[in-house]
Amino acid sequence: MSKDDSLGESLRKQGISRRAFMKFCAATASVLALPPGMATVMAAALSRARRPSVIYLSYQECTGCGESLTRSFSPTLESLIFNAMSLDYYETLQAAAGTAAEAARKTAMKENWGKYLLVVDGAVPVGNDGVYCTIAGESAVDILTEAAKGAAAVVSVGTCAAFGGIPHANPNPTGAVAVSQIVRDKPVVNVSGCPPVPEVITGVLAHYLTFGSIPELDHLGRPKVFFGETIHDRCYRRPFYDQGKFAKTFDDEGARNGWCLYELGCKGPVTYNACATVKWNQGTSYPIESGHGCLGCSEPDFWDKGSFYQALSTGTWSGATVLGVAAVAGAAIGVGAAVVSRRRQAHLDNEKQPKEKQP
């Protein structure tokens, strides 16, 4: 397969039928909430598209995002990512190692300067000059800065890349930051989630291939088409929330009846993601459908928002000290005020008594 093949040619060479390709386009257009007619436009655009170079960088991450990506629920989708695009650098999947791998990255960057798509997963540590994450002797922050200069656009895959994620969580010993805090002069799409829904990743890439631009983003840089609604609003358990029916434990009658998991700490009401609509594992289910509340993993700092099992309406307390001190101080001032008042009354009584004795 030549790198200069169009997508349509490369798919044909791999034995992927036109019918299968059209089904993929229709599914992707549907996922992106585009009108049905756009599936044909998408198919035409993708067929003509030259396989773009993709450089996939991984930093402070657990490879969960990569795992998610490889479980994209259709072979056609997998084929799109790994064959239809020229994946020129991805440590998890590439055969090359050591200097050969780094040379492949540099060659791809040079040959496609200004045109390649830069995909990043993992947060970027900037503490102590970035020594906490180095590859081939270069720090993550230096590699990212250099790679971003020649990128057409940057896709931050996963909450770590999008918002700092777990490496950024308190106390953040490595000074981990989001990709968007390093790359400020290029469009950055945040595909958050821990990990993100695979179809959301591929949907964003397909959108870029089709329209040559990044999709419309929300205020956190996430594609609105996937992150426009909360899990709660699209949750099949929502009617139980409205009826006031809640599971109290993970194995009580309410849980068995599929009642709302709000009391068990579900963060669905404030979490924007496509889990409830696109779902996971070939559209099988999503965490809430499997009986566990939403952790809010596609939101910034989800790791530092209190217990996953505390209901959203409860507070996140620093401890009992502030309340204890306030109670003691209030009681002390109340007693003090009463004592001052009593003394004043006694003083007034003493002043009053001699006068009463006067004739």
Partner 1 sequence: MNLLDFARGPALEWSFAIFLFGVLWRLLGILLLRRVHDYSEPRAHRAALGALQAIVRRTWPRKEFRARTTYGLAISYVFHVGLAIVVFGFVPHILLIRSLLGVSWPGLPGAVIYFSAVVTLAALVMALIRRLTHPVLKLLSNFDDYFSWAVTIAPLVTGLLAVAHYGGRYENLLAVHILSVELLFIWFPFGKLMHAVLFVLARGQTGVVYGRRGAST
Footprint of partner 1 on 249-288 (CB under 8 A): 262-263, 269-270
CA distance linking residue 84 with residue 49, whole number of Å? 9
Q: Which stretch binds partner 1 (CB under 8 A): 15-23, 101-109, 173-181, 330-338?
A: 330-338
CA distance linking residue 104 with residue 250, whole number of Å? 49
Footprint of partner 1 on 212-231 (CB under 8 A): 230
Which of 3, 256, 342, 347 is the binder for partner 1 (CB under 8 A)?
342
Does the footprint of partner 1 cover residue 317 (CB under 8 A)? yes
CA distance linking residue 200 with residue 118, whole number of Å? 16
Which of 17, 290, 333, 347 is the binder for partner 1 (CB under 8 A)?
333
Nearer to partner 1, 113 or 317 (CB): 317
Nearer to partner 1, 136 or 331 (CB): 331
Taking a C-beta distance cutoff of 8 angstroms, is the pair 302, 296 a contact?
yes
Q: Which stretch binds partner 1 (CB under 8 A): 4-12, 21-29, 240-248, 351-359?
A: 240-248
Does the footprint of partner 1 cover residue 61 (CB under 8 A)? no
CA distance linking residue 282 with residue 72, whole number of Å? 8
Closest by Cα among 319, 295, 318 to 307: 295
Q: Which stretch binds partner 1 (CB under 8 A): 135-143, 159-167, 237-245, 281-289?
A: 237-245
151-157/138-139 β-pairing: unpaired
CA distance linking residue 240 with residue 146, whole number of Å? 51
Does the footprint of partner 1 cover residue 348 (CB under 8 A)? no
Does the footprint of partner 1 cover residue 316 (CB under 8 A)? yes
Nearer to partner 1, 6 or 277 (CB): 277
Taking a C-beta distance cutoff of 8 angstroms, is the pair 211, 223 a contact?
no
Q: Which stretch binds partner 1 (CB under 8 A): 45-53, 86-94, 172-180, 308-316?
A: 308-316
Please report, for residues 280, 322, 345, 352, 354, the alpha-carbon distance to residue 358 in angstroms, rounded to integers and kept in the order given.
95, 55, 21, 11, 7
CA distance linking residue 260 with residue 20, whole number of Å? 38
Nearer to partner 1, 19 or 352 (CB): 352
Shortest Cβ 124–partner 1 spacing (Å): 21
Which of 56, 226, 241, 259 is the binder for partner 1 (CB under 8 A)?
241
Query: 14-19: which pairs have CB atoms within 8 A and are 24 or more residues apart?
Result: 14/79, 14/83, 16/76, 16/79
Which of 93, 128, 326, 347 is the binder for partner 1 (CB under 8 A)?
326
Does the footprint of partner 1 cover residue 329 (CB under 8 A)? yes
Taking a C-beta distance cutoff of 8 angstroms, is the pair 175, 133 a contact?
no
DSSP 73: S
CA distance linking residue 287 with residue 278, whole number of Å? 12
Total residues at interface with partner 1 (CB under 8 A): 43
Nearer to partner 1, 8 or 165 (CB): 165
Nearer to partner 1, 226 or 241 (CB): 241
Site residues for partner 1 per CB under 8 A: 230, 232-233, 241-244, 246, 262-263, 269-270, 300-301, 305-306, 310-318, 322-323, 325-327, 329-331, 333-335, 337-339, 341-342, 345-346
